[in-house]
């Protein structure tokens, strides 16, 4: 673990705001830009930052849900590579209960988006947690997949007791792998209604006993996301070390 977390590095290295500017690139490397510091002084600052920040920690904290994508497509080979890497997660009894459907047809995704919105609107009264999104759901221009070039739908075998946890870790890995390679990803909760139905699973060729876990979009973001994300809300950590 690093001896200093990213926020602390930022505070320290930007103590003199007139001299230093710190940012994170999509490849999770630290970039320091200045017009007043050069030579050994800059090397010292960069070295100090690298020593105190673990690359994986930066990657995790730099990840954002991406909801704006360019028109650039993703090849079948690239998507296959991402999935092959994402499945290297701990999983219950080594069941490896995942199965994938990949959609790269934007027109088809738009059709699924319209179907999902119509279904949610028809059941809005019974879904209080979705009522805050009514305006978006009624907007004909709103696409729940944000015009992303690829959608990876993860199903889990319910015969494996831990399939939801196992497949959720795969979905999160897709987010981290996308961040690492300069892409974006987002778990689409609005798509759970349409892809969880028996009829849709039959259409996809998903065997009986498999349940929807995660629809994840992937693509190239239209712009860099903010360096710092939303602050984490307070939470409790209880240690039990045997001391009275």
Question: Range(s) for CATH 3.40.109.10 in the chain?
Answer: 76-219
**pLDDT tier, 58 (very low <50, low <70, confident <90, very high otherwise):** confident
Asked if residues 220 and 117 have their Cβ atoms less than 8 Å apart, the reply is no
Full-model pTM = 0.79
Euclidean distance between CA atoms 177 and 165, whole angstroms: 18
Which is more confidently placed, 18 or 197? 197
Span 76-219: which CATH code? 3.40.109.10
Q: Which helix (H) or strand (E) holds 163?
A: helix 163-180
Q: Assign 54 a pLDDT band (cuts: 50, 70, 90).
A: confident
How far, CA to CA in Å, does 69 sit from each of 50, 184, 220? 31, 8, 5
């Amino acid at each position: 673990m690093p001896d200093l977390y990213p926020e602390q590095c930022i505070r320290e290295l930007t103590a003199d705001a007139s001299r230093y500017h710190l940012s994170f690139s999509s490849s999770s490397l630290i970039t320091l830009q200045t017009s007043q510091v050069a030579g050994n002084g800059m090397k010292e600052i960069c070295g100090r930052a690298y020593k105190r920040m673990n690359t994986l920690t930066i990657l995790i904290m730099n990840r954002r849900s991406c909801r704006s994508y360019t028109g650039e497509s993703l090849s079948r080979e690239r998507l296959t590579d991402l999935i092959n890497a994402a499945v290297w997660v701990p999983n219950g009894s080594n069941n490896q209960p995942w199965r994938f459907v990949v959609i790269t047809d934007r027109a088809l995704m738009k059709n699924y988006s319209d179907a999902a919105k119509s279904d949610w609107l028809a059941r809005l009264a019974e879904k209080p947690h979705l009522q805050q999104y009514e305006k978006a759901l009624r907007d004909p221009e709103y696409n729940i997949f944000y015009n992303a070039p690829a959608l990876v739908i993860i199903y889990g075998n319910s015969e494996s007791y831990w399939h939801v946890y196992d497949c959720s870790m795969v979905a999160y890995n897709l987010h981290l792998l996308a961040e690492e390679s300069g892409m974006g990803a987002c778990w689409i909760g609005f798509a759970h209604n349409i892809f969880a139905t028996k009829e849709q699973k039959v259409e996809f060729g998903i065997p009986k006993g498999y349940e929807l876990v995660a629809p994840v979009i992937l693509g190239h973001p239209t712009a860099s996301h903010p360096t710092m994300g939303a602050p984490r809300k307070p939470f409790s950590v209880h240690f039990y070390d045997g001391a009275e």
